[in-house]
Amino acid sequence: MDPKVILETALHREEISAIEALLLMQAGDSLRPDLFETADVLTQRFHARNVTYVRSKLIHYTNICRAECAFCPFWRKKGQRGAFLLSADEVLRQIRDAGAVRQIDLQGGLNPDVTLDYLTGLLRTIKEEHPNLHLHGLSPSEIYYVAKRSRAGVFEVVKKLRAAGLDSLSGDSADILNDKLRKKFATEKLRSGDWVDVMRAAHRAGLPTTATLLFGHIEDEIQIGEHLDIIKNLQRETGGIVAFEPIPFVPANTAVVKDRKFKPREGIEPVLKMVAICRIFFARTIRHIQIDWTKLGWPDTLRTLGAGANDLGPLSVDAAEIRAPESNGKLTTPVTTLKSMVQKAGRIAVERDPFSRRPLPRLGVRQEEPALV
């Protein structure tokens, strides 16, 4: 099938299939202008020119992780230098220091000392002191691990976490939903079906989630197509996914680079292509395509806004600056600079409500209304 016909189909509000997404992935460079334009038309149809973000504080409650994923530079073994597990008081201290944030992102790992009681206690303690903060985070792999260790069902665990204060679940740890690759990356991590089961349980329990794809490592296009299809089918079943985040693989300090199949990405074009394909493939099924600026830096992140991305996700905003959490606060951007950069890219940066994902009203400024389709 001619890829241009697939783009035409997408523009006329019909969903494209995983096979068609695969054909777009395999299309040559000459398709790129049309691909980006189609993605951009769909983005503006759903979100006008608004680009949203949420003031957030990322807190790693532990970095001890038994999964030891080959693509992750974050994990430490228990007892290793730099390994930690925070107490609820230490987490509260970080929140108090964070300033005027609306959301807390809790991320951890598969740590045998993290029990269900630890997690529910942590969530309750935060909510007691900060009832209006949106608590986002954990991930299917953390939930599956805790459920297994406490010999409980994942639905039961998810319900307890929700009752303790979790407002939405991170769709991290999807990585690539292909068990051959998952086994290669991390022997102890949950398999594709388990990831889907936790997501389904979360949606059943009334917890919205994001969903993710880690791309640009040793996966192939067929595996990406299958991954996207699994997520679309889940969304058709439950409707609980509020945003999709394609995560470009960052090879620094990871074991994947030793794999003979790994080839470093050349330039930003493959990332833009993937963002555009995700926008076109998910269309009305998942309307928010999120991008993490800490993976790409601002210049390339701004380019994704013309290729299908509409959400900058959680930004660590301390006072008037946005900080990259992984850079120990060294990489910062003033909020005013962010707004003018986004404006130069032809968009409007708007803070959003973490619960509804809708832009917050801005006093005295006319808000662009997204077109409803």
72 vs 133, beta carbon nearer ligand SF4: 72
Q: Which stretch binds ligand SF4 (CB under 6 A): 3-11, 71-79, 152-160, 312-320?
A: 71-79
Coil, helix or strand for 118? helix
Q: Which stretch binds ligand SF4 (CB under 6 A): 35-43, 60-68, 83-91, 239-247?
A: 60-68
Contacts of residues 115-121 at CB distance under 8 Å and 24 or more positions apart, as own/partner, are 115/146, 115/149, 115/150, 116/146, 116/147, 116/150, 116/152, 116/157, 116/160, 119/146, 119/161, 119/164, 120/160, 120/161, 120/163, 120/164, 121/88, 121/164
Q: Are 82 and 63 in contact (CB under 8 A)?
A: yes
Note whether 54 binds ligand SF4 by CB under 6 A.
no
110 vs 166, beta carbon nearer ligand SF4: 110
- Per CB under 6 A, contacts with ligand SF4 among 151-210 are 173, 186, 189
CB under 8 Å to 80, separation ≥6 — which residues? none
Note whether 67 binds ligand SF4 by CB under 6 A.
yes
67 vs 86, beta carbon nearer ligand SF4: 67
Q: Which of 59, 92, 104, 110 binds ligand SF4 (CB under 6 A)?
A: 110
Residue with tokens 């609306």: 102
Query: Going by DSSP bridges, is the β-strand pair 321-323/311-318 parallel, antiparallel, or unpaired?
Result: antiparallel
The site for ligand SF4, by CB under 6 A, has a size of 13
Residue with tokens 């509000």: 13
189 vs 227, beta carbon nearer ligand SF4: 189
CA dihedral 288, 108, 81, 295 (to 10 degrees): 0
Please, which residues bridge with residue 350 across strands? 52
70 vs 331, beta carbon nearer ligand SF4: 70
Note whether 75 binds ligand SF4 by CB under 6 A.
yes
Q: List alpha helices for 214-254, DSSP H.
A: 221-238
- Per CB under 6 A, contacts with ligand SF4 among 337-366 are none
109 vs 313, beta carbon nearer ligand SF4: 109
Note whether 146 binds ligand SF4 by CB under 6 A.
no
Binding residues for ligand SF4 (CB under 6 A): 65, 67-69, 72, 74-75, 109-110, 141, 173, 186, 189
